[in-house]
Amino acid sequence: MSAPIAMPATAAFDAAKWRADFPILKRMVNGAPLVYLDSAATSQKPEAVICAMDEYYRQHNANVHRGIHVLSEEATSLYEGARKRTARFINAASWREVIFVRNTTEGLNLVAQAWGRANIQPGDVILLTGMEHHSNIVPWQLLAAEKGAQLEFVELTPDGLLDLTTLDALLTERVKVFAFTAMSNVLGTINPTQELVRRAHAVGALAVVDGAQAAPHLPVDVQDWDCDFLAFSGHKMCGPTGSGVLYGKRALLEAMPPFMGGGDMIKTVRRRESKWNDLPHKFEAGTPAIAEGIGLGAAVDYLTAIGMDNIRRHETELVGYGIDRLAEVNDLTLYGPQDPSVRGGVLTFNLKGIHPHDLATLVDQDGIAIRAGHHCAQPLMEQMGVAATARASLYLYNEPHEIDKLVVALHKAQKVFGG
């Protein structure tokens, strides 16, 4: 095995400094320092997020919006403050355009069910891509089956990019929704979101963006993108599980019926009719995940302090280093773009003769956490001609030496399997 490839230092970014903020990264796993390479599934949480949630429960625990006592007012201020900071994080025109949900999946289902049921008609086309997560496939399948609509797909080029040469033929006036990921959770492909939105709008279609992988890793500006909806999860961006966001343009959200009924999403309730609350509460029925929303706000503050441009620059260099190091491993197939400038921090691969599940088990013995399986993207796996893959995913706290450890572990696995 050749010596590790030199990786250029990232200006104004010190991964070791930020790494120290994450308590779990000090753990030993199977007698080795933890190497966490599974952030595309869920990121680790910095001390600031953990403390923000702990502080809420210790000092401010009360229900929001409904009380006039001190604790309720404090909780409401913390919760709604987190919403306003999240709106600034994605450059929403108003905090009222930020709906708190549990995760990306709930956000996309909300759009499909609330907007889709009211607007999709028999014969309409819903356009997706061949790299979508199940969360951006199944809700549209359910809607299409209910409404008699048709699903179409933008296919991929051999190097894992969207085949944009087919868009003119696919984007007809029958298309009412173009739903696509800003960044693939399998291939790492970073899609040209602004261009895709523009081309959707040119035929009168709405643009719905799955931002689960983009929001933690890239600068996101919904006004610049001009997308109609954007969904993302807090737990992938240093925030807690059970937290997420659906952004929608205000006019669309105002026109949509509620997704769920209950408390807090109403102004008045009579026996046979109700009047809905103002945005965003119209779409937030019942007691929300208060601590999780506050934790998401702390995560947004943390990422903002680092700078999303800095995070993206660090990951671009890190994934380039990873591509080069993995190229040293014989019989390894790396999927997705080879150009780090159009690839996020995702390294998805297979080793000949070793099932991904076996591989993940073997490297775990050295304290290395990677993901194995279909990554909730079975149609993409089928197109790639594989049942499963291994995936090492990177974030702001990862360093080159962790990729080096993965490469060593992969060579060890090959020896175990006689390679």
376 catalytic per annotation: yes
Q: Considering 51, 227, 238, 376, which one is annotated as catalytic?
A: 376
Structure tokens at 342: 């159009």
Rounded CA separation 407/399 (Å): 13
Structure tokens at 100: 């708190």
Catalytic residues: 376
